[in-house]
Homo-oligomer: A and B are copies of this chain.
Amino acid sequence: MSVFDAADSIALSIQEVFDLSLRVLKGAGLSDAHARAVARVITAGERDECASHGLYRLPGCVMTIRSGKLSPDAEPGIVDASPALVRADARFGYSLLAFERAAPLLVEKAKAVGVAALAITNCFHFSALWPEIEHLTEQGVAALAMTPSHAWVAPAGGRKGLLGTNPLAFGWPRPGPHPYVFDFATSAIARGDLALHEIAGQPIPEGWGVDAEGRPTTDARAALDGAMLTFGGHKGSALSTMIELLAGPLIGDMTSRESMAFDAGAQAAPCHGELILAFDPAMLGGPDPAANAARAEALFAAFADQGARLPSERRYAARARSLARGVRTPRPLYERILALGF
């Protein structure tokens, strides 16, 4: 069930979501290839009822395209750098086309040597990572993806934005229709949640942020002016730092702080790098892949046995509903998108 009141929402088919997205993105100036790559991910977000990664993103995409920072027709430069490494220079286009162009080679390498890395650099990023992870698990590999973002998050013991919201996503291929997938920000919450609390005049829970003096705060505005915190205390902070290093300096791209400076207030999508690792269970797992797959399935079954949910289960349920019945999007958002004029 959609969270939106049906009376104030618009019914759209999945195809209509895609077509609308494509029209807006091309209208704003993206090349056909880039627009299709971005529209596919927006459609997946809407389909899975991840509203924050669906049509809601279109106005921000238009702003990014018009910022003059993004290259709207960049053809990614794919380099077969070693038996285990693919480089994709996005040349300041959106990351998604670089991913699409490079993914087949990443999978091929993982299957040949067991583990392989895809380093995407110089890319603008706006999407969740799970669509990429799902794409890879569909080819039979496990995958891990991470990116920095902008320096809104204080490290444990600190009081100023330094780390990004730094998402980490992982997937494991399963025999059924859906892989095991998680995708989470290493910040305690998404930055948009702070803004929503401020607008609603609601206090935020402890642990979400600190004020400009580094004191714990339950005031959303104070946290927006101060810094967000990571999830999980010093462990989450360490994990976020790892993501800064692996998806930044390791692959020759910017940290979240550098990315924020590069944006210079333009409020475009963050520009930085992305690291994706792919692992082939058949190559890594030794002589009995079926036994290994069964081990993983036994683990998942034990979640269900004790009433625990696997990550993404809600998303898959939403997908089934959307594919059967289409989606509903809030009328104000729909009208805002139409008002973009494309």
Contact = CB atoms under 8 A, between A and B. Distances in A.
A249 interface: yes
A285 B277 CA distance: 15
One complex includes copies of this chain to the number of: 2
A142 B245 contact: yes
A295 interface: yes
Contacts of A170: 238, 242
B242 A231 contact: no
Contacts of A200: none
A18 interface: no
Interface string A239-275: 1011011101111101101100000000000000000
Interface stretch (A22-30, A32-40, A56-64, A297-305): A297-305
A87 B172 CA distance: 21
Given A170-B242, A306-B154, A252 B162 contact: no
Nearest to A89: B286
Contact of A242 (B182, B252, B302): B182
A283 B119 CA distance: 11
A296 B232 contact: no
Nearest to A121: B286
A180 interface: yes
Top 4 A-B pairs, shortest CB-CB distance: A232-B232, A158-B308, A252-B286, A84-B84
A114 B85 CA distance: 6
A112 interface: yes
A90 interface: no
Contacts of A12: none
A298 B151 CA distance: 13
27 contacts: A83-B83, A83-B113, A84-B113, A84-B115, A84-B116, A85-B115, A87-B286, A114-B117, A115-B116, A117-B284, A142-B250, A157-B308, A158-B308, A160-B306, A162-B302, A162-B306, A170-B238, A170-B242, A182-B241, A214-B306, A232-B233, A246-B279, A250-B281, A250-B284, A252-B284, A255-B295, A255-B298
Contacts of A119: 284
Given A85-B284, A114-B82, A117-B115, A157 B309 contact: yes
Contacts of A116: 84, 115
Contact of A311 (B142, B168, B234, B298): B234
A293 interface: yes
Contact of A114 (B81, B255, B286, B292): B81
A306 B249 contact: no
A241 B299 contact: yes
Given A249-B292, A283-B82, A155 B113 contact: no
Contacts of A231: 232-233, 235-236
A234 B84 CA distance: 32
Given A119-B284, A168-B239, A250-B279, 10 more contacts: A82-B112, A144-B242, A156-B308, A158-B307, A180-B241, A231-B232, A241-B299, A252-B285, A255-B299, A257-B302
